[in-house]
A = this chain, B = another copy of it.
Amino acid sequence: MAAVLTGVSESAVAGAVEAFVEALGADAVLTSEDDLREYRDPYDFKGSDEYTASAVVMPRSVEDVQAVVRIANEFGVPLWTFGQGRNNAYGGAAPRVNRSILVSLREMNRVLEVNEELAYALVEPGVRFFDLHDHLLAGGYKLWPSIPDIGWGSVVGNTLEYGRGYTNYGEHPATACGFEVVLANGELLRTGMGGMSNSKTWNAYPWSFGPNHAGLFFQSNFGIVTKMGVWLMPQPEVYLSGWARFLDDDAVGPLADTVRDLMLEGTIRNLPLVAHGLSVEGEMDLDAEGWGLRFALYGREAIVDAQYEIVRAALEAIPGVEVGRRLFRWEERANAVNHNDKVQGGVPGMELMDVFMIPYGEETGHLDLSLVGPLVGKDLVESISTLRSLYARTEFPYLVGILLIQRSVLHISTLFFDTKDERQTRAAYDTYASLAREMAELGYPVYRTNIQHMDVVADMFDFNNHAQRRLNELLKDTLDPNGILSPGKQGIWPKSMRDSAGQAKA
């Protein structure tokens, strides 16, 4: 898990930086140590000098991005791109390869179009969830964004990492429609119907004539996404923020099966969360007894009423489960104060950051072990029980939130540590790796991981001698022969940096 230093020469970086300044202007390039410190992984050991960039370049346009890519090819320097760089717990803005040049897309932050009839927006990668929400409100559009727990991240960046929100549009990778991408050779590609210059449906119809390329740019180092269409939810007549609570693990199995059936029949259509210590006020108490479930319903009042009665009856049939709700009409969601009501209502906030800082104050770090499992009660109960005993062998408590996605779950447990404490920080990263390995043996991959664990996780995808990795390597070598785009991202290394087994050269 050591940082990779291969082949990034000081003179190449110096040459590239000079060329960036020439092409984009001096104010678009940062190189001071103070500036670079801000872009380190906030959850790595504070004394570490690994995973550190050598410069930050900030394009303002697609042409700027093309210039950056051209220069990187010329000087053979690796880039590492982010929208906002808030991919915290997975590395933040920090690069996999030491001394990479960060491409910050924060300056490309325009909402280019909102189509109210067809309920979508076209956004640049620097647009934060806050920005999209505020833009829709300011424009009087009756459209809600789906947002993740913390509102400062990039809509595009979150989506490309397969991130989620909690409304009916919470499955973010499925709500993206139409990408514009700068490829490693500087060429501009538009996916799907965007392949026809004057097409009316780039952001309305997600498929292509011929193969669909959109998937290639998720968790990827094959291109830099410069525009994305995102589908939005029309403002509902009624938004119901619902919850259930129960004390014992025993209820988790029947509850999961019940909610799955309600999701598959279409009664619940958002992404519900089951979490230990989740209160009905939407606060997380890391030491609390018992479990909380939150879910939401949206639509016409008569239908939401009927749906809630069905959900309530089904959940209350499980011994020990209490059910409740809060109702919001039209824009009343703006008055929501608690976290559950806000995130399920598409209102971005920062309140969860306070929870993340409870264990060790401002310097608290955390890692999320984000396992993908089937949404089957028996299986979920078993995996909870297994993780409980695995965690019991470590110094970290088992703190768990389970996101329900129709047929699957993201079973996410969080390891908190003090980033000023080198031993504890390293113990957390090592514990994560061994937990991930043990769960992979049982058939549970993670869907997303920290820069330090990308190789470990990629290695778990073993089908047919790592056929997926070998295909990714073939694509990488074809699309990016100089290996300039985010080398090592998700364990995909360019030829010059990998050995014959696909591992990063020491």
Contact in complex: A374, B118 (CB < 8 Å) = yes
Please give, as numbers and ranges, the residues of chain B lying within 8 Å of A199 by CB-CB distance: 372, 443-445
| Chain A stretch 217-252: residues in CB contact (< 8 A) with chain B | 217-220, 222, 231, 234, 236
Please give, as numbers and ranges, the residues of chain B lying within 8 Å of A215 by CB-CB distance: 208, 211-216
Contact in complex: B447, A209 (CB < 8 Å) = yes
Contact of A204 among B177, B213, B375 (CB under 8 A): B375
Q: Is residue A408 within 8 Å, beta carbon to beta carbon, of the partner chain?
A: yes
What separation, in Å, do the CA atoms of A119 and B407 have in the docked complex? 8
Contact in complex: B407, A120 (CB < 8 Å) = yes
Contact in complex: A303, B267 (CB < 8 Å) = yes
Contact in complex: A474, B468 (CB < 8 Å) = no
Contact in complex: A205, B303 (CB < 8 Å) = no
Copies per complex of this chain? 2
Contact in complex: A190, B407 (CB < 8 Å) = no
Closest to A222 in B: B211
Closest to A441 in B: B198
> Measured between C-beta atoms, what is the minimum distance from A492 to chain B in Å?
6
Known: A204-B374, A210-B492, A445-B196. A189 touches B471 (CB 8 A): yes
Q: Which of A8-16, A95-103, A145-153, A294-302 sits within the interface?
A: A294-302
Closest to A477 in B: B478
Contact in complex: A200, B373 (CB < 8 Å) = yes
Contact in complex: A463, B194 (CB < 8 Å) = yes
Please give, as numbers and ranges, the residues of chain B lying within 8 Å of A58 by CB-CB distance: none
Chain B proximity mask over A483-497: 1 for CB below 8 Å, otherwise 0? 000000111100000
Contact of A162 among B173, B207, B236 (CB under 8 A): B207
Contact in complex: A118, B376 (CB < 8 Å) = yes
> Measured between C-beta atoms, what is the minimum distance from A174 to chain B in Å?
7
Chain B proximity mask over A72-95: 1 for CB below 8 Å, otherwise 0? 000000000000000000000000
Q: Is residue A440 within 8 Å, beta carbon to beta carbon, of the partner chain?
A: yes
What separation, in Å, do the CA atoms of A267 and B216 have in the docked complex? 33
> Measured between C-beta atoms, what is the minimum distance from A433 to chain B in Å?
15
Contact in complex: A265, B220 (CB < 8 Å) = no
Q: Is residue A470 within 8 Å, beta carbon to beta carbon, of the partner chain?
A: yes
Known: A201-B373, A447-B209, A478-B475. A234 touches B264 (CB 8 A): yes
For A, the interface residue count at a CB cutoff of 8 angstroms equals 100
Q: Is residue A458 within 8 Å, beta carbon to beta carbon, of the partner chain?
A: yes
Please give, as numbers and ranges, the residues of chain B lying within 8 Å of A207 by CB-CB distance: 162, 173, 218, 447
Please give, as numbers and ranges, the residues of chain B lying within 8 Å of A470 by CB-CB distance: 187
What separation, in Å, do the CA atoms of A269 and B117 have in the docked complex? 17
Please give, as numbers and ranges, the residues of chain B lying within 8 Å of A30 by CB-CB distance: none
Contact of A236 among B118, B198, B265, B372 (CB under 8 A): B265
What separation, in Å, do the CA atoms of A174 and B231 have in the docked complex? 15
Contact in complex: A407, B266 (CB < 8 Å) = no
Closest to A207 in B: B162
Q: Is residue A188 within 8 Å, beta carbon to beta carbon, of the partner chain?
A: yes
What separation, in Å, do the CA atoms of A177 and B215 have in the docked complex? 13
Please give, as numbers and ranges, the residues of chain B lying within 8 Å of A307 by CB-CB distance: 303
Closest to A189 in B: B467
Chain B proximity mask over A461-481: 1 for CB below 8 Å, otherwise 0? 111100110111011001100
Contact in complex: A464, B187 (CB < 8 Å) = yes
What separation, in Å, do the CA atoms of A310 and B302 have in the docked complex? 9
A220, A264, A462, A478 — most chain B CB neighbours (10 Å) = A264
Known: A196-B463, A205-B372, A265-B299. A210 touches B173 (CB 8 A): no
Please give, as numbers and ranges, the residues of chain B lying within 8 Å of A209 by CB-CB distance: 219, 445-449, 457-458, 461, 490
Closest to A192 in B: B468
Q: Is residue A168 within 8 Å, beta carbon to beta carbon, of the partner chain?
A: yes
A372, A407, A408, A492 — most chain B CB neighbours (10 Å) = A407
Q: Is residue A195 within 8 Å, beta carbon to beta carbon, of the partner chain?
A: yes
Contact in complex: A300, B267 (CB < 8 Å) = yes
Please give, as numbers and ranges, the residues of chain B lying within 8 Å of A196 by CB-CB distance: 440, 443, 445, 460-463
Closest to A198 in B: B443
Q: Is residue A257 within 8 Å, beta carbon to beta carbon, of the partner chain?
A: yes
Contact in complex: B463, A265 (CB < 8 Å) = no
Q: Is residue A379 within 8 Å, beta carbon to beta carbon, of the partner chain?
A: yes
> Measured between C-beta atoms, what is the minimum distance from A176 to chain B in Å?
11
Between A and B, 8 residue pairs with Cβ closer than 8 Å are A189-B463, A190-B463, A200-B443, A208-B218, A210-B218, A210-B458, A211-B222, A213-B215
